[in-house]
Chains A and B, each alone.
Chain A
Amino acid sequence: MFRRNISCAAFVFVISASAVATPPAMATSGEEATTSTYSYEDAVPGLAPASSDTTAIYLDEAGQPLSIDGVEATSAQTAALACTPESGMDNPHRSSTGVAVSGHGWWNKGDCSNNRANVYNCLYEWYTDNTWRRKACSATTELRPRRDGGGRTTARRNCDNTLYTSWRNHVDVDVIGEWDTAEKPMRQANVYCRVYG
């Protein structure tokens, strides 16, 4: 489960750094930026360096810190009883249906019992002050598990230009009527899409 109201967290992830993305016309490659020398106001979107995985923080649209720690079960006892849903998401990617970045989210039951969950996913863009800033979220949608044809959520944001930029797609799954664990899964990719606002 990915909680909106928590502080920064460390991530460990592996990027297919040389994945074959399609460069659009007129795009120039973004430069992998160094971090920590920019203020919030001066920072601009860019390509996240490898070191950002352990040090970056998350910000909402107003610049307030977000946390991706946290558990729904608030005590050790309830945490021990929590089930673990499978939280699914795809890579943030350039949409072919417009000049936009897009990502999807879904879930499966894992070892949970109930077959309904509230699901949403959000897209975060990397900035040179080593922050991941939230740029779009899907609506929170009650879904059946994907294996039962439950569908998926979509977060999407139009690009201001097509500069190469790092994005993350996080999904949050809250199984209805059941304690579930607090996974905060995400996928990261570089996309020919940059958003400033």
Chain B
Amino acid sequence: MFAALYGELVPHAWRDPESKLDAYELFHQRSLAMGWLDDRNAGGGSEDRMRRAPGLWGMNDAGWNHPLAVPGAKLISWFQVEVSAVADDRPLPVQPFLRCAEDATASAGTLNLSAVQVLLPVQGLDPSSRPPYAPVPSIGTVHWFAERDPRSRAPVEVCLDSGQDRSNPVVAQQLKDRLGHLDQKVFEYTSYDVGGEGTGISPPFDDSFWNGPAAQRVTFRGELAEWSLDAIGWLAEVLADCVARLGGHSPIVLTISARDTRS
């Protein structure tokens, strides 16, 4: 799983710009502190007899800059993890992943987020293993967003791209219907289209890293309960499960951006 945060970051005045605590260190520390870092594949030393932590992911990489970022895209930070096997009754852990990403980034500066891009490993979800009480597990936590200030609802654009997997446009209509039938108001769409330009933010990684290049795109426009990485993570988890249930079995690049409705 990979996340890229876009927008502006105003560095904390008190922070050493040359600090060795880079995005990798900060994310790793935060993952460890929250108990979400998976340690089970460590071995080979005297600690072999230890009971290892079954976390949500193993650390891969992170940074403030990326050599493949689109110039002008305002990339703030990026994070890459290897997701552990997803439990049958739990969602892909996008919310905790973005929580650590946000916390790591915010420890370097004040974040003004304009877009988030997440590579969702949909192929790691097995819809047939979901129990009847949790076909889309994130729906069970929908009430977390129930008591928000109505004025915090934010217009967003939600773009899913399955790259060279041509099933995405086919499932677009079904995805729209499925979203409409879920008992949730965290994300309410007003329109959608297949193809189009999407957000225009190319993901900062090689095509062979997922199933690129970008091609099969579906874009929803609507309102999110709030412009927060919590809500974005929740929606990403729901979309991943919905796509998997509709037969999607390849990685999806999901880009959620704040939409300026003033014009």
Residues of A that sit less than 8 Å from B by CB: 11-27, 53, 68, 84, 87, 89-91, 93-99, 102, 104, 146, 148-152, 162, 170, 181, 183-189, 192
Contact of B41 among A12, A99, A152, A189 (CB under 8 A): A189
Q: Known contacts being A68-B44, A90-B58, is A21 close to B208, with CB within 8 Å?
A: no
B124 at the interface (CB under 8 A from A): yes
B119 at the interface (CB under 8 A from A): yes
Q: Which of B6-37 contact A (CB under 8 A)?
A: 19-21, 24-25
Cα distance A49–B82 in the bound complex, in angstroms: 20
Check if B85 sits within 8 Å of A149, measured CB to CB. Answer: no
Check if B40 sits within 8 Å of A90, measured CB to CB. Answer: no
B103 at the interface (CB under 8 A from A): no
Check if A25 sits within 8 Å of B211, measured CB to CB. Answer: yes
B46 at the interface (CB under 8 A from A): yes
User: Which B residues lie within 8 Å of A170 (CB)?
Assistant: 44
Check if A16 sits within 8 Å of B40, measured CB to CB. Answer: yes
Check if B119 sits within 8 Å of A22, measured CB to CB. Answer: yes
In this complex, the member of A19, A87, A89, A192 whose beta carbon has the largest number of chain B beta carbons within 10 angstroms is: A19
Top 4 closest A-B pairs, CB basis?
A13-B43, A149-B20, A20-B124, A183-B45
Residue of A whose beta carbon sits closest to that of B49: A12
Cα distance A21–B119 in the bound complex, in angstroms: 11
- For the A-B complex with A184-B45, A187-B42 known, give 16 more contacts whose Cβ atoms are closer than 8 Å: A13-B44, A18-B85, A19-B84, A20-B85, A20-B123, A68-B44, A89-B42, A90-B61, A95-B61, A96-B61, A96-B68, A98-B206, A99-B209, A102-B60, A149-B20, A188-B43
Residue of B whose beta carbon sits closest to that of A152: B24
Check if B212 sits within 8 Å of A15, measured CB to CB. Answer: no
B197 at the interface (CB under 8 A from A): no
B187 at the interface (CB under 8 A from A): no
Report 26 cross-chain contacts, Cβ distance below 8 Å, ordered by A residue: A12-B43, A13-B44, A14-B41, A16-B40, A19-B38, A20-B1, A20-B86, A20-B92, A21-B82, A22-B2, A22-B121, A24-B207, A24-B209, A25-B211, A91-B41, A91-B58, A93-B60, A96-B80, A96-B206, A97-B61, A97-B66, A99-B209, A104-B61, A150-B20, A151-B20, A186-B43
Check if A25 sits within 8 Å of B45, measured CB to CB. Answer: no
Q: Known contacts being A14-B52, A16-B84, A96-B78, is A185 close to B68, with CB within 8 Å?
A: no
Residue of B whose beta carbon sits closest to that of A185: B45
